[in-house]
Amino acid sequence: MTPSLHLLVNGVRREGAVPPTERLLDTLRWRLNLRGTKEGCRSGACGACTVLIDGRPRLSCLTLSHQVGEAPILTVEGLESDPVGRAVLETFVAEAALQCGYCTPGFVVALTGLLKEHPGATETTLLEGLQGNLCRCTGYSSIRRAVTRLSEPKR
Amino acid sequence: MQLLAPTRAEEAIAALLDGPEGRVAVLAGGTDLLLDLDEGKSSPEVLLSLHRLPWRELTWEAERLEIGATLPLAQLEQDPELARRIPGLHEAVGAIGGVALRHQATLGGNLVRASPVSDLIPILLALECEVGLLGSGGERSLPLEQFLLGPRRTALQRGELVRRVWVPALPSAFRWQRVRPANDVSQISVAVAFAPKEERWRIATAGVAPLARRAKAAEAILRGPSPGEEAIAAAGASAAEEAEVRQDRRATDAYRRHLLRTLVLRAIRAVATGVGGQPA
Ligand SMILES: Cc1cc2nc3c(=O)[nH]c(=O)nc-3n(C[C@H](O)[C@H](O)[C@H](O)COP(=O)(O)OP(=O)(O)OC[C@H]3O[C@@H](n4cnc5c(N)ncnc54)[C@H](O)[C@@H]3O)c2cc1C
Ligand code: FES
Ligand code: FES
């Protein structure tokens, strides 16, 4: 049985039949063709699949699409249209805070969520908030530089 | 597999009792259960999701906090009063997974999972919290110590759900040690609470076999709100001695015992200075 589902993804209402136990990660990637959200571990441990649901960072690999309900979903594809998301993207580019880029959607989405939840967050808060996101190639220093810049008070 | 997401408690309980045992699996945040499904450890016919039930209370009473079973841990952590009124619980919640995980994992799920490495069970044992269980006949409450029967075994009966948890607001502390700070399992975690009225210290540890437990011999060594360094050292040694520590790929038993002693000392000192420094 594939009950029908409505999702609000990046401001667009999407609709379709989705099996009851399908993960949001799979619905986004394989039904909605939003391949920016990545699958790393599929077990909650790497953060590559992070999306915002109701503005809060969530792991799409451990969320059933049918559990989301009416709540708006923001994926990496929608970050540009969000002012906080855009600032995060620009800072990652300015600091070249990526190498292969596989972990990057998770990092920028998680950071956007953290900055929205804690406007003016300190560097420590942001770094602690990113502890659930793993990167296997940058060595983290460029990501840290981006975080430092994002935590500086805007003049 | 079918997914049910009732909005009323009665419907949820009725669904649990429908059909043979094992047919229905309860889904809260899914951070344990969905992994079990992936690994084929559980293959229910029906998933009963609790996400539409209004069970996300966070209510301060005079001397305790009521927490709805399905409140995501991140919302508990963000409560402005928590760090001051139940510091040990605030520290323990912040130690779970990463931020995104805490936005979905729930307290109810953590307790029902009854994992030997849970970071919430030790602090809730030390605080002597009560668990509210809802069934077709109404709600009953049990001390957590009686609710936990063993790893993955609880006193929940067929047709019952964890409805809420009551946590006494007490001076408390949580200390843990891991290889990585987030998304890793603690090698040892230690919780300490002090009940000023009874002048009783309570210590619980996890990472010990077979499930987190109180270190009652160590507790009995401590007296009054500011036990001296000598008593604290003796309590740490006693806790390390009475624990049945495990040996696995994360730590040797000798290292675990060493950690346990050290973390007990640190947690007691943290509570003792907190108690001495602030009026009750
Ligand atoms: C990457 C990762 C890191 C983690 N890190 C930690 C950590 O550091 N410390 C730690 O302690 N845990 C950790 N966990 C474990 C996990 O997040 C917790 O056990 C979590 O609190 C479970 O809650 P849930 O809502 O996700 O439960 P679910 O997975 O939905 O359910 C867990 C079990 O409880 C049952 N259940 C859930 N709610 C109820 C209810 N109200 N009534 C009756 N039965 C119920 C379910 O049927 C299931 O058997 C981690 C998990 C992952 C994936
Ligand atoms: S793919 Fe979801 S956390 Fe790794
Ligand atoms: S840039 Fe390659 S995993 Fe992070």
Report pLDDT digits (tens) over B41-55.
888 999 999 999 999
Residue B189: strand pairing partners: B176, B206
Query: What is the token pair recorded at A132?
Result: 């659930």
Residue list, ligand 2 pocket, CB within 6 Å: A 39-42, 44-49, 59, 61
Determine whether the shortest distance from the Cβ of B135 to ligand 1 is under 6 A.
Answer: no
Helix (H) or strand (E) holding B130: strand B130-135
Query: What is the token pair recorded at B215?
Result: 């270190």
What pLDDT score does B276 carry? 46
Calculate helix-pair angle for A83-94, A104-117, nearest 10 degrees.
Answer: 130
Interface test with B, best of A26, A128, A131, A133 (most B CBs within 10 A): A131
Interface test with B, best of A25, A52, A59, A128 (most B CBs within 10 A): A59
Q: How far apart are CA B147 and CA A155, in angstroms?
A: 54
Domains, chain A, with CATH or none: 4-75 (3.10.20.30), 78-151 (1.10.150.120)
What pLDDT score does A154 carry? 59
What pLDDT score does A1 carry? 57
Question: Which one of A66, A69, A132 has the shortest CB-CB distance to B97?
Answer: A132
Taken in order B212, B217, B218, B223, is the CA torsion positive or negative? positive
Question: Which one of A58, A67, A110 has the shortest CB-CB distance to B51?
Answer: A67
pLDDT for B61 beyond 90: yes
Determine whether the shortest distance from the Cβ of A103 to ligand 3 is under 6 A.
Answer: yes
pLDDT for B243 beyond 90: no
Q: Is B223 helix (H, G, I), strand (E, B) or coil?
A: coil
Residues making up chain B, counted from first to last: 280
Q: How far apart are CA B232 and CA B80, in angstroms?
A: 31
Q: Is A74 helix (H, G, I), strand (E, B) or coil?
A: strand
What pLDDT score does B207 carry? 86
Expressed in angstroms, the distance from the first to the final Cα of chain B is: 52
CB B267 within 8 A of CB B188: no
- Angle formed at CA B46 by CA A59 and CA A17, multiple of 5 degrees: 65
Q: Are strands B188-195 and B172-177 parallel, antiparallel or unpaired?
A: antiparallel
Predicted confidence (pLDDT) per residue in A73-118, tens digit: 999 999 999 999 999 999 999 999 999 999 999 999 999 999 999 9
Q: How far apart are CA A78 and CA B100, in angstroms?
A: 18
Helix (H) or strand (E) holding B133: strand B130-135
pLDDT mean over B135-157: 97
What pLDDT score does B279 carry? 36
B chain contacts of residue A136, beta-carbon cutoff 8 Å: none
> How close does chain A come to B46, measured CA to CA in Å?
10
ipTM field: 0.95
**B274: phi then psi, degrees, rounded to nearest 5:** -60, -45
**A113: phi then psi, degrees, rounded to nearest 5:** -60, -45
Residue B174: strand pairing partners: B191
Cβ of B100 within 8 Å of Cβ of A43? The answer is no
Residue B185: band (very low, low, confident or very high) from pLDDT cuts 50, 70, 90: confident
What pLDDT score does B181 carry? 80
What atom in ligand 2 is closest to the CA of residue A45? 3
Exposure string for B243-276, b = 16+ CB within 10 A, e = fewer = bebbeeebbeeeebbebbbbbbbbbbbbbbebbe
Q: Name which residue leads in pLDDT, A138 or B179.
A: A138
Q: Is A105 on the interface with B (CB under 8 A)?
A: no
Q: How far apart are CA A115 and CA A141, in angstroms?
A: 20
Compute the radius of gyration of chain A from its Cα atoms: 15
Measured in whole angstroms, how far is the alpha carbon of residue B130 from the centre of its chain?
A: 11
Q: Which of A41, A104, A133 to mutate to test the pocket of ligand 3 (most atoms within 8 A of CB)?
A: A104
pLDDT > 70 in chain B, percent: 98
Cβ of B3 within 8 Å of Cβ of A47? The answer is no
Compute, in degrees rounded to 10, the torsion defined by CA atoms A55, A60, A64, A70: 20
How many angstroms is it from A93 CA to the middle of ligand 3? 14
B chain contacts of residue A74, beta-carbon cutoff 8 Å: none
Predicted confidence (pLDDT) per residue in B35-44, tens digit: 999 999 888 9
Q: Is B187 helix (H, G, I), strand (E, B) or coil?
A: coil
Q: How far apart are CA A89 and CA A98, in angstroms?
A: 11
Question: Which ligand approaches the C-alpha of residue B107 most closely?
Answer: 1
Q: Say which residues have a Cβ less than 8 Å from residue B251's Cβ, sequence separation at least 6.
A: B187, B188, B207, B259
What pLDDT score does B278 carry? 39
Expressed in angstroms, the distance from the first to the final Cα of chain A is: 55
Regions of chain A short of the pLDDT cut 50: 155
Q: How far apart are CA A19 and CA A6, in angstroms?
A: 13
Query: What is the token pair recorded at B202?
Result: 């309570």
What pLDDT score does B180 carry? 82
Predicted confidence (pLDDT) per residue in B203-223, tens digit: 999 988 789 999 999 999 999
Residue B275: band (very low, low, confident or very high) from pLDDT cuts 50, 70, 90: low
Question: Which ligand approaches the C-alpha of residue A136 most closely?
Answer: 3
What pLDDT score does B83 carry? 96
CB B206 within 8 A of CB B177: no
Determine whether the shortest distance from the Cβ of B189 to ligand 1 is under 6 A.
Answer: no
pLDDT mean over B244-268: 92
Mean pLDDT value across chain B: 94
